[in-house]
């Protein structure tokens, strides 16, 4: 079978060299067999691929949004061990769920994951629907995730177009359209739906995604010599990889200055819960305030007499970048001689181990969380 596929591929290379121009659909149909052969022999071994049940595919795809594959692996395994079925997810306490997600970021993803699980329990008897349209109606599931679940778990021939696929298709067709536009993504989805094989939807979609992740990589020169679609790629032929795909410039992120406090007393540290709406909603955080405070301002923030402070030390600055805002942080570590009473009555003292094991602190505070445990860990 492989010989036949690559024989087809060789004939295609010859026809292209003879200047037989292919229309977009013809070009995409021509790449099908070499793509499937390449994916069949080079696909990475990933835990959600080894057992592509609908729930596992769904969780993995949500985790993989804006997160690298290698970073996701341990989170996925831990999540599956803790919440092996949709019912477990639907019934999970929010703090426990956020703790399982801690470090992955973009916490609205896991909130939507739970909301969708609740709806699946109520409307679909605990089973993800085997329908692209019904999947699309669930919270947090857009066209890409619906396409991935439908094609990988159920074999339904619908496209799954993410950033990797947009980049690959744009380069194959030398299309300079702005891939940040929803209309461009919709056009690619429509085109792929017309040409994708009806009986190999899973391998086809995953092959395109895998090619974008491993070969037609973002931001760097593509590894064209490793690509099964090299001979049909117009961007390769025209040397345009620096120009395609095209993305319109992003808006400049807003910068916020903050001062973060590590406040300790007898093995406990202060944390507080963030508001239920807005950035990092309902997660826990180290006490912090707007602006970069001086040492005197930091003492005033603590609201305790000077004799109650055993030590107050300035910490190194830290930067955390969200999609639309940057936190430029400085910090102080305050070791107190008595338990701290927050003047605003929002923070509370907990054992350090509880911060490690129970309370979810987002990555924005990771540099200061590491400092909190430094002496305890001997690092």
Report the catalytic residues.
61
Q: Could you tell me where the beta strands, DSSP code E, fall in the chain?
A: 254-265, 268-273, 284-285, 288-290, 309-321, 325-336, 347-351
List C-alpha distances in Å: 128 to 1, 37, 246. Answer: 35, 30, 35
Please give the Cα distance from 52 to 153 (Å, whole number).
6
- Measured distance CA(137)–CA(159) in Å, rounded: 17
The single residue listed with the structure tokens 């690509």 is 227
Task: Output the CA torsion 117→119→124→127 (10° steps).
Answer: -10
Instruction: Write out the H or E segment, with its range, that includes residue 51.
Output: none
Closest CA to 151 of 207, 109, 190: 207
Rounded distance, CA 230 to CA 222, Å? Answer: 10
Sequence-separated (6 or more) residues with CB below 8 Å from residue 169: 28, 161, 175, 188, 191, 192, 208
Bridge-based pairing state of the strands 325-336 and 254-265: parallel
Q: Which of 337, 170, 298 is nearest to 241 (CA)?
A: 170
For residue 269, the cross-strand partners are 264, 350
Distances, alpha carbon 114 to alpha carbons 55, 83, 109, in Å? 12, 11, 9
Across the chain, which distance is largest between two alpha carbons, in Å? 86
Residue 78: which of 103, 114, 43 has the closest Cα? 103
Burial of 3 (0-12, 13-18, 19+ CB in 10 A): exposed
Instruction: Give the whole-angstrom CA distance, residue 353 versus residue 359.
Output: 9
């Amino acid at each position: 079978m492989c010989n036949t596929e690559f024989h087809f591929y060789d004939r295609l290379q010859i026809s292209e060299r003879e200047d037989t121009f292919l229309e977009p659909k013809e070009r995409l149909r021509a790449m099908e067999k070499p793509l499937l052969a390449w994916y069949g022999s080079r696909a990475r071994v990933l835990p959600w691929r080894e057992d592509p049940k609908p729930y596992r595919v769904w969780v993995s795809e949500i985790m993989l949004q804006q997160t690298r594959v290698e970073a996701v692996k341990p989170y996925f395994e831990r999540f599956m061990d803790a919440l092996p079925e949709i019912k477990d997810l639907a019934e999970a306490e929010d703090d426990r769920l956020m703790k399982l997600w801690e470090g992955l970021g973009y916490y609205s993803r896991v909130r939507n994951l739970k909301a969708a699980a609740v709806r699946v329990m109520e409307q679909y008897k605990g089973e993800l629907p085997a329908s692209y349209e019904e999947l699309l109606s669930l919270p947090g599931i857009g066209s890409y995730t619906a396409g991935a679940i439908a094609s990988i778990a159920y074999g339904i021939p619908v496209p799954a177009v993410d950033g990797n696929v947009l980049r690959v298709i744009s380069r194959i067709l030398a299309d300079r359209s702005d891939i940040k536009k929803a209309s461009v993504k919709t056009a690619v989805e429509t085109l792929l739906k017309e040409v994708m094989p009806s009986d190999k939807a899973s391998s086809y979609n995953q092959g395109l995604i895998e090619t974008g992740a491993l070969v037609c990589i973002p931001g760097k020169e593509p590894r064209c010599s490793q690509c099964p679609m090299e001979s049909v790629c117009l961007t390769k032929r025209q040397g345009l990889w620096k120009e395609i795909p095209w993305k319109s410039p992003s808006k400049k992120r807003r910068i916020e200055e903050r001062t973060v406090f590590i406040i300790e007393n007898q093995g406990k540290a202060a944390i507080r819960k963030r508001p239920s709406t807005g950035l990092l909603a309902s997660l826990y955080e180290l006490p912090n305030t707007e602006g970069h405070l001086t040492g005197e301002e930091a003492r005033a923030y603590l609201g305790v007499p000077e004799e109650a402070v055993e030590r107050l030390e300035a910490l190194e600055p830290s930067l955390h970048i969200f999609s639309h805002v940057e936190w430029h942080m400085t910090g102080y570590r305050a070791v107190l001689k008595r338990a701290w009473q927050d003047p605003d009555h929002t923070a509370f003292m907990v054992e350090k181990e509880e911060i490690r094991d129970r309370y979810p602190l987002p990555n924005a505070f990771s540099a200061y969380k590491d400092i909190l445990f430094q002496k305890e860990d001997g690092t």
